[in-house]
Amino acid sequence: MRRPWLPWLAALAGIVVSLAGAWQLHRLEQRNTHLLAEDEVSSRTSALEGDVRDAISLAMSTKAVFDASRDVTREEFATLARLLSPRTAVPGSMLWLPRVRHADRARFEHDVRQSGITSFLIYETFRVGVPVTPALDRDEYFPLLFMEPPAPVPLGFDPGGDSRRLKAMQVAVDNAAPAADRLGDPTLPSGFALDIIAPVYQGPTAPETIVARRGSLRGFVGVHMDLASFVNASLTRSPRRMTANTWLLDEQGQVLCSRIESRDDSSDATSAAALRVGRYAERVVQVADRKWSLIFHPEVEARGAPVSASLMVLGLGLLSTVFVALYLSRLLSAEQRLEALVEERTAALRATHDQLQQAQKMEAVGRLTGGIAHDFNNLLTIVMGNLALAKDAVADPDVKTTLLQPALEAAERGADLTQRLLAFSRRQALQPRVVDVAALVEGMRPLIQRTLAGAITFDVRAGEGLWTIRVDPSQLEASLLNLCINARDAMPGVGQMTIGLENTHLTADAARTPDDVVAGDYVLVSVTDTGKGMTDDVRARAFEPFFTTKRVGKGSGLGLSMVFGFVKQSHGDITIDSAPGHGTTVRMYFPRAKES
């Protein structure tokens, strides 16, 4: 496709048209949604305030009974609870907490135990149904004496031992009015209770002064409710036309409880600052003497409302846009995939062709070199044998020194050259045996150290539990020494050379030439230098016989060829990693010996 921008242009035009139409309808819907949310918030707030009034009414009705009678029995209190509870929708228990002065504590506990509660004790803390800590000595106590319907809170529990609860009691006494607070209660599912308490005085009416009120206090009646259940019940009873998450906060902004109806960004919020962001509504709820806050995060869609017309227009417009853009994009993508596939296949074919060509070249050179070296070695054997016989037969020392000895040395150098060629062609005679590579390298350390010159440092890094290998040790030593000499020549005077020894597992895919390497356990012998490195062209020809980058007379070009042939003849593999300016690493992989 000659116009790759066409799908984008079509998508942009479709989006603009869809957004314009949807925006006009959205403006008409926005006002209706706002009015619906405000009505929902007001409805829920009114429901909660109504239930709070019912709870206060229940407490005040109980107070009226205690104002009229100074001696209310447990049975009478239970009857009162059964009569009053059905009149309200408050889910909780009615309480009576009489005032007990310190001097009367022992007598009070004794009297209650005599009345039938044999284990009664005034205490401060409890686990579910079990008292834990007896109340400490203080001027007065307010133990739980009656609780209907019964709850897991044991009778005798004194909420006045907690400073926060005691403060709520003092507020109720001083104001002669109901007070509310959130209290910790491990017996409730939410772990917190809402207590609304009202003071009961000695007379039917509250004294005029605060001092007189504190002096004539008889105790407290109240309603004990699970805070979360109370709020959830109130919000559930209100008619809901939309989904909204609701939080109840105290005067300090602490979250008292929450009702989560939908998961959104605010559903995990735990502070007032995090809740008073985005689209929300807030109402103040009077809970006895407290002014708590209800924060609502309503959803946009109302319950039972049809799908927004603006969303329908936007959705249909975007859907049409997507179809057109996808069609045009698929045409463009198909063309791009085809081009990429052609490039990938071409590159793979070129790489396979280059690898095959290199392998064929090395194989051809190896065969040619091996044949020539073998025949030439036979000729040299005859020449060297005859020169040795001639040297023994000639008596003239001058002839031996000037003629026969130089000829014999030249023949020996030729024999050494043929051995290298035979090593490259993998035809040299090897004497393999099980070798401990770490011990072999350690034994070569003095020789390698003398071979290096200048400020070149040398280090051996051997892994633990190194396996043994089955190779010709003399050829391995010659190969290592050859690689060390090459590393030295690549670092003129200064550098770092490292011989690495480690166990590894080689797969056919990881090998440089997969067709002649068997997957399995190998010992990796690497020689790394910090020299000048190789270019890709040089690295590709590094194993070719007679190829060298050294000056004339400085190298024969058979060193790496000999190493290559020895490793391959030992059923291993060899690779070179190098880059100009980043040094060179030659890795030799030798199969793990079966004996190890």
Render 443-506 in DSSP notation, one character per residue.
Answer: HHHHHHHHH--TEEEEEEEE-TTPPPEEE-HHHHHHHHHHHHHHHHHHSSSEEEEEEEEEEEEE
Contact 76, 146 (CB under 8 A): no
The DSSP element (H or E) to which 593 belongs, if any, is none
Q: How far is CA 56 from CA 52, 60, 177, 243, 368, in A?
A: 6, 6, 10, 29, 110
CATH class of 430-591: alpha beta
CB proximity list for 301: less than 8 A, separation 6 or greater: 242, 243, 308
- Of 215, 185, 171, 219, nearest to 199 by C-alpha is 219
Whether 183 contacts 195, CB under 8 Å: yes
Q: How many CA within 13 A on the CB side of residue 92?
A: 29
Residue 524 Cα distances to 2, 114, 140, 504, 506, angstroms: 53, 90, 85, 7, 10
Half-sphere exposure of 345 (CA within 13 A, CB side): 6
Q: In CATH terms, are 1-305 and 430-591 the same topology? A: no
Asked if residue 172 lies in contact with residue 197, where contact means CB atoms within 8 angstroms, the answer is yes
Predicted pLDDT at 304: 43
Whole-Å CA distances, 486 to 245, 259, 300, 482? 76, 77, 76, 6
- Residue at 112: amino acid letter: V
**HSE, side-chain direction, 13 A CA sphere, residue 24:** 6
Contact 182, 256 (CB under 8 A): yes
Q: Say if residues 526 and 500 touch (Cβ distance below 8 Å).
A: yes
Q: What is the number of H-type helices and E-type strands within the chain? A: 14, 20
Q: What does the pLDDT read at residue 446?
A: 87
CB 527 within 8 A of CB 499: yes
- pLDDT score for 20: 74
At position 164, the amino acid (one-letter code) is: R
Interior angle at CA 302, CA 301 and CA 304, nearest 5 = 120
Q: What DSSP letter does each residue of 25-57 carry, written as one string?
A: HHHHHHHHHHHHHHHHHHHHHHHHHHHHHHHHH
Using CA atoms in the order 236, 237, 241, 244, what is the torsion angle rounded to 10 degrees?
Answer: -30
pLDDT at 363: 58
Query: What pLDDT is stored for residue 514 in this prediction?
Result: 46
Give the whole-angstrom CA distance, residue 246 versus residue 233: 13
In the numeric block, the tokens 């790759």 are attached to: 4
- Which residues lie closer than 8 Å to 450 by C-beta, 6 or more apart? none
C-alpha–C-alpha distance, residues 45 and 31, integer Å: 21
The sign of the dihedral angle between the CA atoms of 484, 487, 493, 496 is negative
Report the C-alpha gap between 401 and 381 in whole angstroms.
21
CA angle in degrees (0–180, nearest 5) for 279-284-286: 155
Determine the residue type at 172.
A
What tokens were used for 452?
A: 């290096």
What does each of the 596 residues of the chain score in pLDDT, given as a tens digit?
Answer: 456 666 667 667 777 777 777 677 767 767 777 777 778 788 888 888 888 888 888 889 889 999 888 888 889 898 888 888 765 566 788 999 999 999 999 999 999 999 888 888 888 876 655 566 787 888 999 999 998 888 777 788 888 877 888 888 899 999 999 998 887 777 777 777 888 999 999 988 899 999 999 999 999 999 988 888 888 888 877 777 777 788 888 888 888 888 887 776 566 677 777 787 777 788 888 888 888 888 888 765 444 444 566 667 667 767 777 767 676 677 777 777 777 788 888 877 776 666 666 555 555 555 555 555 555 555 566 666 666 777 677 777 776 677 667 776 666 656 555 555 555 444 556 788 899 999 999 988 888 888 887 788 889 999 999 999 999 888 888 889 889 888 888 887 788 999 999 999 987 665 545 456 788 899 999 999 998 898 888 888 887 776 776 665 555 566 787 888 888 888 888 899 999 988 999 999 999 998 76
Q: Which long-range contacts (CB under 8 A, 24 or more apart) does 73-82 make?
A: 74/115, 74/146, 77/146, 77/148, 78/146, 78/148, 80/148, 81/148, 81/149, 82/148
- In this structure, which CATH number among 3.30.450.350, 1.10.287.70, 3.30.70.260, 2.60.40.10 belongs to the domain 1-305? 3.30.450.350
The residues near 192 (Cβ < 8 Å, ≥ 6 apart) are: 182, 183, 184, 185, 226, 227, 228, 256, 257
d(CA 147, CA 112): 14
d(CA 550, CA 548): 5
Please give the C-alpha separations between residue 449 and each of 226, 439, 518, 587, 588, in angstroms, as whole numbers: 84, 16, 35, 20, 21
How confident is the model at residue 359, as a pLDDT?
58
Indicate the pairing of strand 281-287 with strand 290-302.
antiparallel
- Beta strand 494-506 with 455-462: parallel, antiparallel or unpaired? parallel
Domain limits of the chain?
1-305, 333-420, 430-591
Query: Per-residue b/e over 482-517, b at no fewer than 16 CB within 10 Å?
Result: bbbebbbbbbeeebbbbbbbbeeebeeeebeeeeeb
Q: Which residue has the tokens 């008073």?
A: 276
Is residue 307 within 8 A of residue 299, CB to CB? The reply is no
Q: List C-alpha distances in Å: 130 to 57, 154, 186, 187, 191.
A: 31, 7, 11, 11, 16
Q: Please state, in angstroms and rounded to a whole number, the distance separating the CA atoms of residues 528 and 480.
A: 11
